[in-house]
Amino acid sequence: MERSVIIAGFGGQGVILAGKILAQAAMNHGLEVTWLPSYGPEMRGGTANCTVVMANETVGSPIVDEPTSLIAMNLPSLDKFEQMVAKGGTIIVNSSLVNREVARNDLNVIKLPLNDLGAKVGNMRAINMIALGGYVKATGVVPLEVVKETMAQMLEKGGKGKFVPLNAKALDEGYNAAH
Amino acid sequence: MGEKVLLRGNEVIAEAAIRAGCQCYFAYPITPQAELLEHMAVNMPRLGRTFVQAESELGAINMVYGAASVGVRTMTSSSSPGISLKQEGISYLAGSSLPAVIVNVVRGGPGLGDIAPSQCDYFQATKGGGHGDYHMIVLGPSTVPEAGTLTMLAFDLADKYRTPVMILADGMLGQMMEPVDLPDPIDVASLPKKAWATTGAKGRDPNIILSFDLDPEVLKRMNLELQRRYREIEKNEVRYEEVETGDADIVIAAYGTTARIAKTVIRMARAEGIKLGLFRPITLWPFPYAPLKKLSERVSTVLTVEMSAGQMWEDVRLAVAERAETPFYGEMGGVVPTPRGILREVKKYAH
């Protein structure tokens, strides 16, 4: 069983970090995993994305042309990746910024108003964790608690422990909002 | 061996070099290998070892020449345009029989190219990018863990044969993260002493390290000694992997990142009843001609897939000759072939 997700958005929306936390959580959960960033100019404004592949056996290709999920944090990301998602797959779409419907009708579409929910948890920089919480609920690929523990470990290791409660709240917010 | 950690390919190559006893590292920054240099910048001084961000790639490779001359394990790393600048130094290392490790995290070319993954430096690495009759051992890691084990191996092979060894990676392998069980550090004190090194001639005749002699007969003998060593390397050090070749009708020949993508293609092809296998050279020089020749006797097609216009393809055709069809599929300029793209090519040859 192999699952893959492309997490895409504007530079600064935290898609690279969300992917790193998911990859680390999946590894901690006992899965094989690869994390592949778009690197270079994308990192400096514009759009950024990363691909996480999680499997029970060794991951072959880290580059995916048929992801089982997409997290689209903005409209350009949905435009770019919608057609690639595998039939029956999941799209988490940031309905605060995406002003169109998902065109495909063979997917599980979860609309989360990430920017509004970000305002609700009190910090717009936590919208990546809201999206990740929604993804975890929709796919069940890794338990929410494992993601939370992993996030806490990674932030503490990076000297950003004070942001753990905010990000835990954001993961919960996304998890509870996704259905 | 410790616990698994999630690291980038660049970081794993750097950490493996440290664990292999790399004493001196010299480099000049370039994308997509910057994390390698950064890891060394943080950790080499902490361990009391030498890290120098050189003034240029030329500076870095010639510092490697100096460090190798005194017998310590030494490494430099760069990406394609930077590696081109190092070619003169690599030729001098080879000519002087100096062990060193050179990492090329290949990006799109030619010229300044771009910073995306590529395999367009295969010719340069395996056929001698510098002047003169020399070879380097060239290792092509396919995964992040293998980037670590092959970096450790590179230092051993460099010392054993007194030759530069290249790790030929690509931007994707350098940038991606994967769980890795880091190899244990070696005990540097246990390494064989290098009697040829220029460590001060007190109480003995001076050691001289040169790639130069104006007497053609002497230079010929130096060349013959290099060639003798290359034949020994060809005999002892060929490494490759075969995946599901037992019943295969079609075999993909690919190395590095492209080979791991091909492993996914095997699963997809076999689900559709296509008997597909993979032949993956791990040593790109010496190239595994003999095992590929043997394999080609029982398959219909050897499809070479590369992120280049067809460089390893030449070695594949030398090995296969007329025994099987030898088509090619490549992407250039930093475009990475996708599993479905490769499968489409495979289907052209499936009957």
DSSP chain A: -EEEEEEEEETTS-HHHHHHHHHHHHHHTT-EEEEEE--SGGGSSSEEEEEEEEESS----SS-SS-SEEEESSHHHHHHHGGGSPTT-EEEEETTT--S----SSSEEEEE-HHHHHHHHT-GGGHHHHHHHHHHHHH-SS-HHHHHHHHHHHHHHTT-GGGHHHHHHHHHHHHHH--
Structural domain includes residue B27? yes
Cβ-Cβ contacts under 8 Å, A63 against chain B: 172, 261, 336, 338-339
**Domain A2-177, CATH homologous superfamily name and number:** Pyruvate-ferredoxin oxidoreductase, PFOR, domain III (3.40.920.10)
Asked if residue B121 and residue B62 are part of one domain, the reply reads: yes
Looking at residue B2, its pLDDT comes to: 64
Asked if residue B161 and residue B288 are part of one domain, the reply reads: no
Name which of A71, A61, A16 is nearest A38 in CA terms.
Answer: A16
Shortest distance between the Cα of A73 and any Cα of chain B, in A, equals 22
Q: Which residue of B has its CA nearest to A65?
A: B338
From residue B100, how far is each of A75, B1, B154, B256 by CA, in Å?
49, 25, 9, 21
Structural domain includes residue B215? no
Asked if residue B175 and residue B228 are part of one domain, the reply reads: yes
Asked if residue B262 and residue B228 are part of one domain, the reply reads: no
Closest by Cβ to B263, choosing from A40, A60, A64: A60
Q: How confident is the model at residue A47 (pLDDT cuts 50, 70, 90)?
A: confident
C-beta atoms of A40 and B176 within 8 A: no
Rounded distance between C-alpha atoms, residue A35 and residue B334, angstroms: 18
For the CA atoms of B50, B20, B237, B229, the dihedral, rounded to the nearest 10 degrees, stands at 40
Name which of B40, B34, B50 is nearest B15 in CA terms.
Answer: B40
CB neighbourhood size of B291 (10 A):
16
Structural domain includes residue B18? yes
B338 touching A, CB under 8 A? Answer: yes
Angle between helices B256-271 and B339-347 (to 10 degrees): 60
Structural domain includes residue B130? yes
C-beta atoms of B177 and A39 within 8 A: no
- Give the number of beta-carbon pairs within 8 Å between A and B: 71
Structural domain includes residue B266? yes
Closest by Cβ to A60, choosing from B32, B116, B261: B261
Closest by Cβ to B336, choosing from A20, A58, A63: A63
Percent of chain A whose predicted confidence (pLDDT) is above 70: 96
C-beta atoms of A63 and B261 within 8 A: yes
A32 touching B, CB under 8 A? Answer: yes
Name which of B45, B121, B53, B51 is nearest B90 in CA terms.
Answer: B121
pLDDT per residue rounded down to tens, chain B (351 residues): 568 999 999 999 999 999 999 999 999 999 999 999 999 999 999 999 999 999 999 999 999 999 999 999 999 999 999 999 999 999 999 999 999 999 999 999 999 999 999 999 999 999 989 999 999 999 999 999 999 999 999 999 999 999 999 999 999 999 999 999 998 999 999 999 999 999 999 999 999 999 999 999 999 999 999 999 999 999 999 999 999 999 999 999 999 999 999 999 999 999 999 999 999 999 999 999 999 999 999 999 999 999 999 999 999 999 999 999 999 999 999 999 999 999 999 999 997
Domain residue spans of chain A: 2-177
Beta bridge partners of B106: B170
CB neighbourhood size of B89 (10 A):
23
Shortest distance between the Cα of B117 and any Cα of chain A, in A, equals 10
Residues in B 119-178 with any Cβ partner in A closer than 8 A: 171-172, 175-178
Closest by Cβ to A60, choosing from B172, B264, B341: B264
Looking at residue B128, its pLDDT comes to: 87
The tens digit of pLDDT for each residue in A57-85 reads 999 999 999 999 999 999 999 999 999 99
Is A43 a residue whose pLDDT tops 60?
A: no
Strand, coil or helix: what is B33?
A: coil
User: How are beta strands A47-55 and A2-10 bridged, if at all?
Assistant: antiparallel
Asked if residue B111 and residue B41 are part of one domain, the reply reads: yes
A76 touching B, CB under 8 A? Answer: no
Angle, vertex CA A44, rays to CA A40 and CA A48, nearest 5: 70
Q: What is the CATH number of the domain that holds B167?
A: 3.40.50.970
Rounded distance between C-alpha atoms, residue B242 and residue A168, angstroms: 45
Structural domain includes residue B206? no
Phi and psi at residue A112, to the nearest 5°:
-120, 125
Strand, coil or helix: what is B28?
A: coil
The parent domain of residue B319 ranges over 241-347
Asked if residue B172 and residue B147 are part of one domain, the reply reads: yes
Maximum C-alpha span of chain A: 44
Q: Which residue of A has its CA nearest to B172?
A: A36
Asked if residue B262 and residue B131 are part of one domain, the reply reads: no
Interface test with B, best of A35, A44, A61, A66 (most B CBs within 10 A): A61
Rounded distance between C-alpha atoms, residue B68 and residue B62, angstroms: 10
For chain B, the domain total comes to 2
Asked if residue B188 and residue B278 are part of one domain, the reply reads: no
DSSP B36-48: HHHHHHHHHHHTT
Last residue of a domain, one of B209, B236, B263: B236
Shortest distance between the Cα of A77 and any Cα of chain B, in A, equals 19
Q: Which residue of B has its CA nearest to A37?
A: B176
Cβ-Cβ contacts under 8 Å, B179 against chain A: 27, 32-33
In sign, the C-alpha dihedral spanning A52, A56, A62, A68 is: negative
Shortest distance between the Cα of B262 and any Cα of chain A, in A, equals 7
Residues in B 207-266 with any Cβ partner in A closer than 8 A: 260-266
Cβ-Cβ contacts under 8 Å, B178 against chain A: 33-35, 59, 62
B108 touching A, CB under 8 A? Answer: no
Looking at residue A40, its pLDDT comes to: 62
Instruction: Calculate mean pLDDT across residues A43-65.
Output: 88
Asked if residue B252 and residue B166 are part of one domain, the reply reads: no
Cβ-Cβ contacts under 8 Å, B263 against chain A: 58, 60-61
B6 touching A, CB under 8 A? Answer: yes
Cβ-Cβ contacts under 8 Å, A36 against chain B: 172, 175-177
Structural domain includes residue B208? no
Asked if residue B267 and residue B173 are part of one domain, the reply reads: no
Cβ-Cβ contacts under 8 Å, B31 against chain A: 39-40
Cβ-Cβ contacts under 8 Å, A39 against chain B: 31-32, 115, 171, 175
